[in-house]
Amino acid sequence: MQLCKKQKNVQWLAGFLLAALAVHTTGAPVIVTEDDLLTDIPMVTSVTHMDQTLLQTPASVTIIDRETIQASTAVALIDLFRMVPGFQSYFVNGARMGVTYHALGDEYPRRLEVKVDGRSVYESLFSSVDWSMIGVSLDDIEYIEIVRGANASADGSNAFLASINIVTRSPLLDSGWTFTSQLGSAETRNAALTYAGTIGAINHRTSLNFTSNNGFDDSFYLGKPLSVDDNSETFSATFRGLWTPTAQDNIEFQVGLSNSSQGIGEKTFTDRDLAYQYQYLNWSHLSQKGNKVQMILYHNDLEFTDPAAPLRLSDAIGVPDTSPYWPLPGLPDKVFFDQPSRGTSERWDLELRSTTQLSDDLRAVNGAAIRYDNVQNSAFFDTPDSLSQTSYRAYTNLEWTLSPDLVLNGGLIVENPDKSNTYASYRIAANYEHRPDHIFRVAMNRSFRAPTLLESNQRSLVRYNENIILDASVITVDDLDNEELNSYEIGYLATFNSNKVNLDIRLFNEKMTDVIGERRNSFPDLDNFVNIRDNNDFLDVRGAEVQLLYKPDSHFLMRAHYEYSDINGETLYRAPPTLEIRDLDEYGLRHTAGLLMNYKFSSGISISSMISHRSKMKYFRGSYADAHTRVDLKAAKQWQVKRSVIDLSLTVQSVGDAYIEFYDFNTFGTRYIFGLKATFP
């Protein structure tokens, strides 16, 4: 089949840009430059809470640094995860975003821990992360650590499949004012104002952020016009302070708030208002022997309101109460949903952690923590009362250097939610350096994920009165168990040419049992069935990931990745006596790939190309999606004006044909985004 003219132009434009980037790699003699002498050795803390090089970590890690973020074509935060092997990122609605790894990615992805500066932003009420409310813009980020694989032994139950830690910029790295703005397609209107300075002995970084877009364009569903009302506006303010009262003590504190109005839904939409706030304190003390003690305390609070949409029962079922087919003989018609639906989700978390050098070849991190969660929403839980849970966790991670060539890592966490049994997750890994900067890693994880308050307590019912249930959508069984993961991996990590080339290969097998899903069952309501939340899913995921980073100097950057996964899974769709078991294979991505190339000219001009590919799949609770390759392009120019710096950019996302995101009426077409950044010291 011949390509259409538009597709040919896209390929020509992408090829031209990639060819231009490749010019740098030929025709010049290789010499030692200042870049070779100043190359950083990436340090990772998310895997064990110890500072480790990538060659020491017991898991595969992707680091997205500030240079990569600036070089990328990302407009939203989740765009960055298209550069990570095994990750899926997508828009459910214009402001409702999803990120998942290796497993079922629905409208509220679970099983992935997300932290900002070590503070979990995972919400029990939705059993997920609301990416629009965490109050972090791309310019706020210093780097992101992504642990590709189970990390429960360090981060606890939520890090069932992987974990993400977003590290924001330190107040010590900036000075003065920074203004950024983005305008473009989908009525994108983003702006941020940041000031970094001092208040007495406190260094601080204060940011105001505003984002707005009108979501996806109107579309068609089953041949009929569909108005996609998923526009959104979000405002956030954050303050990060740093105080060093002594040479051994460091105190970091943060406060932030966000307010958002966003259209959400599937085919029918409602405007959801959200209000979010957090407070965070991290005190660390470094002893003269180099040991460290930390106390981390944070509080998250989320509130949401869905507006009322009054509905008469007769309109819902299409039968008047005067009809002989009226399902409630002797009872009159009634209006439902005449009050807004409100919900809250609150978390307090206190953690004590110590890092100790036990001997020349043995060091350890030990920690203990207590967490309190409280949620409330009458539509989810069939009660106006709030539900709460206090959980405890204690962990240890050990690093034992048996020889210069062999490092062993072991991690164990014990968690005890009240009203539930105690469970333990662990990891064992060995890293063998068979030649300098070339290591083989073998690792084994056994992890458990406890149900969230929503998962273990949901009873979504529509009642006529206390005794009559008109509709039951989701009910959780009384004895919901923990999910279990047993995973094995073999990794190969190597650096070449004085750390200019980094290669990461991971072979994995992840078996998940007692996975929390939903099965259908009969129920005495108007439609005679209900979804029962139970441990009724099984998944076996095996495959390979390859990640390559090439950075010969400060001008050129290339990142590439490929992932193959074979997902075999089953779900008990209907329980006996009408037994029905369905496959889950179609809900996994078999192939994903990505390529980022960036070249910065001495004149201040920077050009980038970012290509990402996915194979065909079906979004869990979403639509089928054909295989698609997305091409993004970006050009930027920087000027130095006295002591100020001005950056202008043009980003073109999804050059070429449109593709669908999650729902088949969400068409992501070509988008043009103009960017401005001005820094005034």
Q: What is the pLDDT of residues 545-554, one digit of tens each?
A: 999 999 999 9
Q: What is the mean pLDDT of the chain?
A: 91
What pLDDT score was predicted for residue 41? Answer: 59
- Give the bridge partners for 263, in sequence order: 271
Residue bearing the bigger pLDDT, 421 or 71: 71
For residue 259, CA distances in Å to 152, 385, 537 come to: 31, 25, 36
Say if residue 26 is exposed, middle or buried (CB neighbours under 10 Å; 0-12, 13-18, 19+): exposed
Element (H, E) at 507: strand 501-522
What pLDDT score was predicted for residue 10? Answer: 40
Model confidence, pTM: 0.92
pLDDT tens digits for range 10-45: 444 444 344 434 434 344 333 344 444 344 557 899
pLDDT tens digits for range 252-266: 999 999 999 999 998
Distance CA 259, CA 135 (A): 9
336, pLDDT greater than 80: yes
**DSSP symbol at 391:** E
379, pLDDT greater than 70: yes
Q: Which two tokens stand for residue 185?
A: 């397609």
Q: Are strands 162-168 and 112-116 parallel, antiparallel or unpaired?
A: parallel
The predicted model gives 366-370 an average pLDDT of 97
- Give the bridge partners for 534, in sequence order: 517
Confidence of residue 421 (pLDDT cuts 50, 70, 90): confident
Residue bearing the bigger pLDDT, 492 or 681: 492
**DSSP symbol at 12:** H
The predicted model gives 305-316 an average pLDDT of 90
What pLDDT score was predicted for residue 337? Answer: 86
Say if residue 235 is exposed, middle or buried (CB neighbours under 10 Å; 0-12, 13-18, 19+): middle
Q: What is the CA radius of gyration of the chain?
A: 26
pLDDT tens digits for range 266-296: 888 999 999 999 999 999 999 888 899 999 9
For residue 115, CA distances in Å to 105, 163, 169, 301, 348 come to: 19, 8, 15, 15, 14
Distance CA 528, CA 366 (A): 52
**DSSP symbol at 123:** B
What pLDDT score was predicted for residue 22? Answer: 40
- Give the bridge partners for 407, in sequence order: 401, 431
Q: How many CB atoms lie within 10 A of CB 393?
A: 20
Structural domains present in the chain: 5-327+346-377+392-680 (2.40.170.20)
Distance CA 204, CA 198 (A): 6
Q: Which two tokens stand for residue 607?
A: 């050009």
What pLDDT score was predicted for residue 576? Answer: 84
Amino acid in position 410 = G
2, pLDDT greater than 80: no
**DSSP symbol at 122:** -
Q: Which two tokens stand for residue 4?
A: 């259409």
pLDDT tens digits for range 57-85: 999 999 999 999 999 999 999 999 999 99
Q: What is the share, in percent, of the chain residues with pLDDT greater than 90? A: 81
Torsional sign, CA 170, 173, 176, 180: negative
Q: Which two tokens stand for residue 241?
A: 């302070």
3-state secondary structure at position 8: helix
Residues whose CB falls within 8 Å of the CB of residue 224, separated by 6 or more in sequence, listed in order: none
The predicted model gives 428-452 an average pLDDT of 96
Backbone angles phi, psi at 521, to 5 degrees: -150, 155
**Bond prior to 552 in cis (omega within 30° of 0):** no
Distance CA 164, CA 111 (A): 11
For residue 114, CA distances in Å to 77, 96, 623 come to: 13, 16, 26
538, pLDDT greater than 90: yes
For residue 3, CA distances in Å to 8, 611, 658 come to: 6, 19, 15
Nearest to 159 by CA among 413, 344, 536: 413
Q: What is the share, in percent, of the chain residues with pLDDT greater than 70? A: 94
Distance CA 517, CA 256 (A): 34
